[in-house]
A and B are shown apart, each in its own frame.
Chain A
Amino acid sequence: MLSHSKATILAFLLAALLPSAAFAIKGDVCRYGDKDGNLKPSEVRVFVMHQQNEIYRKYDINCDGRLSRAELARYEADQQPFIDQANLALTLAKQDGKSVHVDEKGDTAEPLFGSIEPTPVSPSSNWFFYLRDSPEEIGVFREPKPFTSAAGASFSASRDGVIKNTSWAAKGVAGLAYTWRNTERPDVAGTPYVAGISTSSWMSFNWLSNSAAALKSRQSDVLSFGTTEEFALANILGATQYIRVKGAYNTDFESSPHSWATTLEWQPVSNRYKLSAPFDIGPYLVGRVDPIVRFIHTERLSGGTMDPIFSQHNSVSRAGPVLSLTVQPKASDLILPNWLQSAILNVTYEWLQDIDTRQKYELLNASMAFPIDSAGHLALKLNYQKGRLEETGARIDQAMVGLSAKW
Chain B
Amino acid sequence: MQLFSVSIREIEIDLINYFKSSFPEDTAPIFPGSDVRRRYRYTPEAWAELADELSTVPWMIHLGVVLIQDDMRGVSTIAQLAGLIFKHIRHVVAPKTRVEVTPLTTLMRSSHLIEAAITKNPKSTSRRAKGAIKKNKKKAGETKRRSQ
Contacts and interface: CB of A to CB of B under 8 A. Distances in A.
B69 A196 contact: yes
A117 interface: yes
A92 interface: yes
Contacts of B24: 280
Nearest to B82: A116
Contact of A330 (B13, B29, B39, B49): B39
B75 to A, nearest CB: 5
Interface in A323-373: 328, 330-332, 334-335
B86 interface: yes
A190 B48 contact: no
A249 interface: no
A186 B33 contact: no
A143 B44 CA distance: 9
B26 A142 contact: no
A271 B79 contact: no
A286 interface: yes
A282 B25 contact: yes
B32 interface: yes
A195 B33 contact: no
Contacts of A142: 44-45
B23 A286 contact: yes
A288 interface: yes
Contacts of B39: 330-332, 335
Interface in A104-156: 110-121, 124, 139-143
Contacts of A111: 31, 33-35, 77
Contacts of A271: 22, 46, 49-50, 53
Contacts of A286: 23, 40-41
Interface stretch (A14-22, A64-72, A177-185): A177-185
B9 interface: yes
Contacts of B44: 139, 141-143
Contact of A334 (B29, B40, B68, B74): B29
B26 to A, nearest CB: 6
Q: Which of A93, A143, A189, A278 has the most chain B CB atoms inside 10 A of its CB?
A: A189
Contact of B32 (A112, A181, A240): A112
A232 B48 CA distance: 10
A3 B64 CA distance: 35
Interface in B42-95: 42-50, 52-53, 55-56, 60-61, 66, 68-70, 72-80, 82-84, 86, 88
Contacts, number: 200
A384 to B, nearest CB: 23
Interface string B84-114: 1010100000000000000000000000000
A206 to B, nearest CB: 28
Per DSSP, chain A at the interface is loop
A334 B35 CA distance: 12
A27 interface: no
Interface of A: 81, 84-85, 88-89, 92-93, 95-96, 98, 110-121, 124, 139-143, 181-190, 193, 195-196, 232, 234-235, 239-240, 242, 269-272, 276-283, 286, 288, 328, 330-332, 334-335
Interface of B: 8-9, 12-13, 16, 22-35, 38-50, 52-53, 55-56, 60-61, 66, 68-70, 72-80, 82-84, 86, 88
30 contacts: A85-B9, A85-B32, A111-B33, A111-B35, A114-B77, A115-B83, A116-B80, A116-B84, A118-B74, A119-B76, A119-B80, A121-B74, A141-B69, A183-B70, A188-B66, A189-B60, A189-B61, A190-B55, A240-B69, A269-B43, A276-B43, A276-B45, A278-B23, A278-B41, A279-B23, A283-B27, A286-B41, A288-B41, A331-B38, A332-B39
